[in-house]
Amino acid sequence: MNYDQDLQNYFEADTPETVIAWALQQWGSRLGFCTSFQAEGMVLIDMASKMKADIRVFTIDTGRLHQETYAFMDQVRKHYGIDIQVYFPDLLQVESMVSTQGANLFYDSVASRTTCCNVRKVAPLRRALEGLDAWVVGLRRDQGESRRGIRKVEKDYEHDGLVKISPLADWTRDEVWSYIKTHNVPQHPLYAQGYTSIGCAPCTRAIQPGEDIRAGRWWWEATTHKECGLHYAPETGSYGRQLELLVDKKAS
């Protein structure tokens, strides 16, 4: 392949399975699957586990997750026979934040909520990515305006230039759930209660009929660009998405 070509175009027509298989061959144990056990992440785990027994899966435990998420995490671990690396926020940072701004500071302002997300999510993610060359996420373009421009394979400048892979970028919500039903993929129990996006318990709610699928996230905020910082940097407003030469070849 001539890597002067745009990698976005090169991978755009590929199926999620093709992209995952290529990534596993390319990076092996230095490839991590980041998940919060929502539908998209479960699809990726299911696809990858059928290709490789010892995929590297990690998650961020903010300390404020739903009890249903903890129970489901154990279910996923047993179902697929995989280890799940769990990363926690720094205790001293949490203590300082809560002592000075309160346990529920996220309700005060977007800035305060971003502070909480940075301590509980963004900082642990940086530790989780140490030693990795690439990571796989379940982002889709139709999840919101801030995600319209994601690419299936791209350089992640927010995280030291790692390769970020979004195999489901061009999938719809219906395609995700069709795969789950067809392949009997375990489902997070909160979906049955009307949740369409699942994060921390105080910051996530079920949505009402007709609401946007992300409406249950930080519903008290007026902004439509609702991101925690894991995939989008609010302070820069940029994904830093410039493609570079990434690898020597793509597996056929």
Q: Which residues are catalytic?
A: 228
Dist CA 177 CA 219 (whole Å): 24
Dihedral sign from CA coordinates of 203, 208, 212, 213: positive
Instruction: Tell me which H or E stretch contains 68.
Output: helix 67-80
Dist CA 18 CA 240 (whole Å): 25
Instruction: Tell me which H or E stretch contains 16.
Output: helix 16-27
From residue 186, how far is each of 1, 38, 200, 245 by CA, in Å? 38, 10, 20, 37
